[in-house]
Chains A and B, each alone.
Chain A
Amino acid sequence: MPRLPRLPWLPFLTLVTLVIYSYGSLWPRLPGRSSMRENKHRGSETVERFLDSTLESVDSAEELALAVAERAGFDEDDLMKIGMAVRESMVNAVVHGNRYSAHKKVRFSVTHNETRFTIRVADEGEGFDFSTLPDPLAAENLMRTSGRGIFLIRSFMDEFEMRHLEPGGTEVTLVKYTVSK
């Protein structure tokens, strides 16, 4: 009976493989603005970030969304609308949701497939009553200095949804129908 070759480095190799695998699966949950997960395959792409509650994150999210949207084939006019909708959503999450807290993150994701370009922005704030949003076009609100963000998002995107998160926070989902290339 032939003797099997001895592989003394096999346990070490197995350990290294397990460590690399674990690190990869934990990567999206690591704290900090560089936390990321990216998937690319034919005709679709998903990017996710966990961002600090700062205005710099608003810029980062806009740049990220525009880069993906450009690859998805949107024209200049749609890119402007997507960029603005992302800015408004991020400002709401950073300023009104997380209130610039250094202890709270904004989960930001962009994904697109053949038909839909979807952005999700989730904060860890206390949430708010969606029914209290004032109509910025009402005569009594026209000269208000704030309260137009969600109105602009609705105007620029094809779909818009808000939902409460448990145990706390708000997630908004923005969808733009993907253009055919």
Chain B
Amino acid sequence: MSVKLSTRQVGDVTVVDTAGRITLGEGSSALRDTLRELVGKGQKKILLNLGDVTYIDSSGIGELVSGFTTVTNSGGQLKLLGLNKRVKDLLQITKLYTVFDVHEEEAGAIRAF
């Protein structure tokens, strides 16, 4: 299964629910397009819910970094929610875990904006 993305609004925070595989090709470009579209619409608070992401490769990691930079450069904030062990391990070995603001609970993540 490739990636599935859907967005919902919780107060002034846009939650992007992500499921499937974020890999080079369709998966990573879909994530890139979604984040750029939200930034283009002026959305400043974006919570990327990776709870149902089963797999992410180096291209997917690159898209997370790219998304973080795009949102930050536009004056917004991008936070991550619900990383499974594999994604968490990947961000840790690439030393990116501390770059992102990572949350386990949605309510806490929303409050953190």
Contact = CB atoms under 8 A, between A and B. Distances in A.
A, B in one complex: yes
Interface of A: 55, 58, 80, 84, 87-88, 91, 95, 136-137, 142-146, 148-149, 151-152, 155
Contact of A91 (B59, B61, B93, B99): B59
8 contacts: A58-B24, A80-B86, A84-B57, A88-B58, A91-B59, A137-B95, A145-B65, A152-B94
Contact of B94 (A91, A136, A145): A136
Contacts of A95: 24
Q: Is the interface of A mostly helix, strand, loop or mixed?
A: helix
B96 interface: yes
Contact of B24 (A55, A84, A137, A144): A55
Given A142-B95, A143-B99, A144-B65, 17 more contacts: A58-B24, A80-B86, A87-B57, A88-B57, A88-B58, A91-B24, A136-B94, A137-B94, A142-B99, A143-B69, A145-B62, A145-B65, A148-B62, A149-B58, A152-B58, A152-B90, A155-B93
B94 A151 contact: yes
Interface residues of B, number: 20
A145 B23 contact: no
Interface in B25-71: 25, 57-59, 61-63, 65-66, 68-69
Contacts of B93: 152, 155
Most B CB within 10 A of own CB, among A58, A84, A137? A84
Nearest to A56: B25
